[in-house]
Structure 1
């Protein structure tokens, strides 16, 4: 095996016209950084002239010196690596012009290898800034962003199809600006991102890229309690059922209960020793107040500060005695949890529409009013197992990308980075497939 063949394999150089000699590697510096240089030669017998396209017959094309190009290639170690490639120059007797040999290692007129560009694109799957990726690949941040934009454009080819089950959400892109995102709720594939979440932008997008016949095939759209989406969904997807995400329903009620607890807790923040004790207990064990009663133990004793050795149920019962308002709201929340966990829509509707206790707080009344407005869509969340868990996870990763980059001024660059990040996500080991079901947790 020749030294040229060995080096080509070691550095993944596919062009067999590039040859290397012994001692072709040397250490050096470039732009003040230590790096490694490889010296190679590109030569071959051309079949035709690149200028006049005349065939190479009877030696009409002859060799005419070389031209050296310094090409960035992927580093094999900790140092940056460059290929000093001596390209063969040819002279055409027909047109009396010269041209330089071409290689598949780089695009014409470029000094960055294709593998380096590919490496930069693959690294976008990591939660790293463009500057960090550029530093690793020995290229400029502008080059990395250009490769991101180029690769993402290839991804944004609409095949004029929509999945049957969608999920809508939004995330913050700048101060006072929210972007719209939608995914396939079953597979979790990110479909697209829009710069704004208003109804006009969403309508224009779906009517431009998808026909009415395709939009009629959408069966469900899962959303949070953002009422502005509901009218848009009815217009764009006439056959789709709107599903309210179960997590947001539970979150609505637990927040109301928590606000009620804080209001009552503040009333005990006085100079009185007994009141101060109640204040500290309510402040310390707020999580126990938000748990379903089934998750509280009446037999397992634990040490609770300011209570002593007690089961968790006794701790909650003691705190509920501090206020009739606290107990009334807690009892209502437990009834809600029971109907919700049992997926009993009739019981839930009866609880929400029934007569309320006089001690129900204004926070809880506001949440109940919101539930009444969304009851038809909440019923769909009982009939289907789809939720917004996948899209919320995507939004969390998007926030990480934004944080490590210290924000993006250009929305297009931000969008392209997000699309490429999820397109190049590492392939995980195959696991047993489970349906996208909701795990209901009150706390």
Structure 2
């Protein structure tokens, strides 16, 4: 726009901020850096998550799913993740209005659960299935990374041994022409996908990987089995039985990281099972976080936090 009118972009932005917009008379300007609240945007189905604007500074954001990431999406934005601070702001909304909230999707963080329980007393808490699956995938990658470090150590020892004997080191090549450390590095992405979506090269790589490392195959199957439960189970009773069987497989596999996740799921199992009522996820919150990051990138960072929040809420609140 600045180019079209032949003016400096910085000058146009300054004119918009100081004169063309109502930023100076914005009713939330006085506390914008600490919190923003839009009670009229409260809906029956909400999401709560955290995101960073600049320098890793976290904000807790409550969004209305009914707005589908457009105008009316932001219910509240509070600086930090401290439960007491967020609860104090949300409780400015009349209790009668807060009681109309039926469901809130969130992750497994304890502070998020406390915020929802104290602020929306009638709401059902639904732990996002993708947060659960992400933890399990991270546990799988942890096993792969452990083997990769071991392969790097073994190769370094072999190179030093070859040098001490003044001979040339030649790494062992596997049937697909990968070295062992390359196999483990290049297997990262195939472990995220179901085997039905592997390419031909990935299928060959996976076969070699699982032959060399049976524990990786066992961990991969645990991940896929959990994903299958979320994708194919229709009711809470069946889900509870299948998750109990999955938990037993984890115990038998004896992976420490998986056992930790299994214990975490046992603590939060009721809120995880609530997913099977409406199959609600926190995808809307993650999508909104992506929009905020894209908005931030468009302006090459956040110089003036208040003005950034003003522009953000003008579009989404």
Q: TM-score, normalised by structure 1?
A: 0.56
Residues 322, 193 of structure 1: CA spacing in aligned structure 2 closer, same or farther, 3 A cutoff? same
Indicate which of 204, 210, 214 corresponds to 1:324: 214
Deviation at 1:215, TM superposition (A): 1.5
Residue matched to 1:256: 139
2:227 to 337, 340, 348: 337
Q: Which residue of 1 aligns with 2:172?
A: 274
Q: 1:145 & 1:198 partners in 2: Cα distance?
A: 36
Deviations 1:50-90 (A, max 9, x none): xxxxxxxxxxxxxxxxxxxxxxxx9995445xxxxxxxxxx
- Structure 1: distance between partners of 2:39 and 2:222: 49
Higher helix share: 2
Higher strand share: 1
- Cα 1:274–1:233, aligned 2, differ >3 Å: closer, same or farther? same
**Counterpart in 1 of 2:33?**
none
Counterpart of 1:413 in 2: which secondary structure?
helix
Structure 2 counterpart SS, 1:353: helix
Distance in 1 between residues matched to 2:2 and 2:15, nearest whole Å: 15
2:267 is equivalent to residue 376 of structure 1 = no
Give unpaired runs (5+ residues) of structure 1. Answer: 1-73, 81-130, 305-311, 424-443
Structure 2 partner of 1:217: 100
Return the offset for 1:410.
5.1
Larger Rg: 1
Residue number in structure 2 paired with 1:241: 124
Structural RMSD (CA) = 3.2
Q: CA deviation at 1:181?
A: 1.0
> 1:238 and 1:357 mapped to 2: Cα distance?
36
Of residues 205, 215, 232, the one that matches 2:89 is 205
| 2: CA distance, partners of 1:334 / 1:161 | 38
Return closer, same or farther for 1:296/1:404 CA change in 2, 3 Å cut-off: closer
Q: Secondary structure at the match of 1:394?
A: helix
- Picking from 129, 132, 148, the partner of 2:23 is 148
Q: Name the residue aligned to 1:103.
A: none
Asked whether the equivalents of residues 325 and 360 of structure 1 are also in contact (C-alpha less than 8 Å), the reply is no
Deviations 1:317-362 (A, max 9, x none): 3211112322221222232222122125134421343253565432
Q: Is the 8 A contact 1:151 1:420 kept in 2?
A: no
Q: 2: CA distance between counterparts of 1:168 and 1:159?
A: 15
CA 292–79 in structure 1, closer or farther in 2 if over 3 Å, else same: closer
**Does structure 1 retain, via aligned residues, the 8 Å contact 2:45–2:65?**
yes
The one of the two structures with greater contact order (alpha-carbon pairs below 8 A, sep at least 6) is: 2
Contact 2:41 2:64 in 1 (8 A): no
1:394 is displaced (CA, Å) by 2.0
**1:393 and 2:287 matched:** yes
> Which residue number corresponds to residue 171 of structure 1?
51
**What is the deviation of 1:261?**
0.9
The answer to whether 1:228 aligns with 2:117 is: no
TM-score, normalised on structure 2? 0.76
The equivalences for 1:50-129 within 5 A come to 78-79=5-6
- Number of residue pairs the alignment of both structures matches: 284
1:24-63 equivalences in 2 (<5 Å): none
- Please state how far the C-alpha of 1:244 moved relative to its aligned partner: 1.4
